[in-house]
Amino acid sequence: MKSRSEVLLLTLDLAGVFVFALEGASAAISAQLDLLGIMVIAFATALCGGIIRDLLIGAVPPKAIQDWPYGSTAFAGGAIVFLLHGFVDRIPGPLMLLLDAGGLALCAVAGADKALEYRINPFLAVLMGGVTGVGGGTVRDVLLAHVPRVLESDVYASAALAGSALMVIGIKLKGSPMFMAIAGGTVCFLLRIVSVWQDWNLPKVLW
């Protein structure tokens, strides 16, 4: 039997997977993919970040390949977008933004924490937080033959890295892991929201 906090964590995790799957499936529909393509892109967007992290830190087989709840949740998200496309399309943008920022914060913090657990160097554990957060979207964009949006503009990966970095530094300074995870996640979440609201972007070199 699982403890109450484990159930809470799994629920949050699956909620993040679900939101990312909705987004992936919507992108697949815009690209005119068929039902299979929609399901594949939903799965890839929702789970490839964690899968890449797991392969890199040596946690094989990745959790998302070994256990069924992750894949099923991703496919449920894809199926809902396929069946109720008109409806999902009408979810207000700001709500999607909040949900997505929440999913990103969760992925980043959980990803960095898992890397620490596998004794990865703290600097690279922060990167693993970033990979967990944006890896899925990157794979989606590669499959759709775009340059990954996350590389071009927006404070997205940077928010994930900032949140992961705060958590990892806090834990290395003997902070309570639970507290630092909440602090890191909050920073990632707020940074993402505020950057969209204020239209922040990272600098480019233009000459």
Contact positions toward a copy of itself, by CB under 8 A? 28-29, 31-38, 40-41, 51, 55-58, 60-62, 65-68, 71-72, 82, 85-86, 118, 120-121, 123-124, 127-128, 138, 142-148, 150-153, 157-158, 201-205, 207
Q: Which is nearer to a copy of itself, 85 or 182 (CB)?
A: 85
- The CA distance from 148 to 153, in Å, is 10
Q: How far is the CB of 149 from a copy of itself (least distance, A)?
A: 10
| Residue whose CB is less far from a copy of itself, 7 or 142 | 142
User: Which tokens belong to 193?
Assistant: 């929201």
Considering beta carbons, is residue 106 or 127 the nearer one to a copy of itself? 127
- Cβ nearer to a copy of itself, comparing 37 with 170: 37
**Least distance CB 47 / a copy of itself (angstroms):** 11
Give CA–CA dist 128/116, Å, rounded. 9
CA 193 to chain CA centroid, nearest Å: 15
User: In whole angstroms, how close is the CB of 40 to a copy of itself at the nearest point?
Assistant: 6
> Number of C-alpha atoms within 13 angstroms, CB side, residue 135?
22
Report phi then psi at 175, rounded to 5: -70, 160
The minimum distance between CB 179 and a copy of itself, in angstroms, equals 26
Distance CA 102, CA 182 (A): 12
Q: Which residue number, 65 or 182, has a Cβ lying nearer to a copy of itself? A: 65
Report, in Å, the least distance between residue 117 CB and a copy of itself: 12
Nearest approach, Cβ of residue 183 and a copy of itself (Å): 22
Of the pair 29, 110, the CB lying nearest a copy of itself is at 29
Q: Which two tokens stand for residue 143?
A: 């499959």
Distance CA 168, CA 157 (A): 16
Tokens of 192: 């993402």
- 200-205: Cβ within 8 A, 24+ apart: 200/155, 201/153, 201/154, 201/155, 202/153, 202/155, 202/158
